[in-house]
Amino acid sequence: MNKLEQLYEGKAKKVFLTEDPDVLIVDYKDDATAFNGEKKGTIVGKGAINNRMTNHVFKLLEKEGVPTHLVEELSDRETAVKRVSIVPLEVIIRNVAAGSFSKRLGVPEGTEFTEPTIEFSYKNDDLGDPLINDYFARALDLATWEEIETIKKYAFKVNEVLKAYFLQADLKLIDFKIEFGRYHGQIILADEISPDTCRLWDVHTNEKLDKDRFRRDLGNVEEAYVEVFHRLGLK
């Protein structure tokens, strides 16, 4: 499979066309941004870690009945994926209060919920990815009711699978963001699942082992990504 022309460059990945109109190649970068691109930096080695980790997790999710865009890993940073049309929703699941939830609602970070929450943001950089609900998603015609129900069902399933998966590596899954796409009419999981898109805390010390180290200038950013990678037994 060969990369043809570049289709798109995002904040963390480049996307290329291939000879197959149904398949794209994503190429993970070491670039990191936060706060809608206001803060910029590099996390050396992040691209390779996020590529390997996403693919490993997506294979696990496929086995558990969540369809994904994964076709095959091509190199340490490149993966062939199904060409989807992205549903412009950031789907966020939370198990523990942190980040924007804590800020918006005045709940201390680390407060555990009795049940996971789900929320949607409208993927729109010009508007700063505003928080919306499912009726807003319908009003903006971002997805059908049936698609929204499928997305919710898969998102909670992803949470159950990932909570257990990270826990065996002594990592607590605080929250995460996922994205879905349409592929020949079906909703499938797309984008990535990595320390860029999850909050992962050490179960014993609550040490942050994710992109918050970059967002909040906590230091040891690269080390945190490598730590997660090793704990998951990935190479």
Please give the residue ranges that form the binding site for ligand TMP (CB under 6 A).
Answer: 92, 98-101, 175-177, 197-199
The whole-angstrom separation of Cα 197 and Cα 32 is 11
Residue among 48, 57, 55, 52 nearest 165 (CA): 57
Nearer to ligand TMP, 1 or 127 (CB): 127
| Cβ atoms < 10 Å from Cβ of 62 | 14
Nearer to ligand TMP, 3 or 123 (CB): 123
Closest distance between ligand TMP and the C-beta of residue 195, in Å?
A: 9
Closest distance between ligand TMP and the C-beta of residue 27, in Å?
A: 19
Query: Strand pairing of 23-28 and 13-17?
Result: antiparallel
Nearer to ligand TMP, 21 or 106 (CB): 106
Closest distance between ligand TMP and the C-beta of residue 34, in Å?
A: 8
Burial class from Cβ neighbours inside 10 Å (0-12, 13-18, 19+) for residue 161 reads middle
Closest distance between ligand TMP and the C-beta of residue 212, in Å?
A: 8
Nearer to ligand TMP, 79 or 121 (CB): 121
In this chain, which residue has its C-beta nearest to ligand TMP? 99
Closest distance between ligand TMP and the C-beta of residue 49, in Å?
A: 15
Under 8 Å between Cβ of 120 and 147: no
Nearer to ligand TMP, 172 or 199 (CB): 199
Query: Which tokens belong to 225?
Result: 């990504």
The amino acid at residue 137 is: A
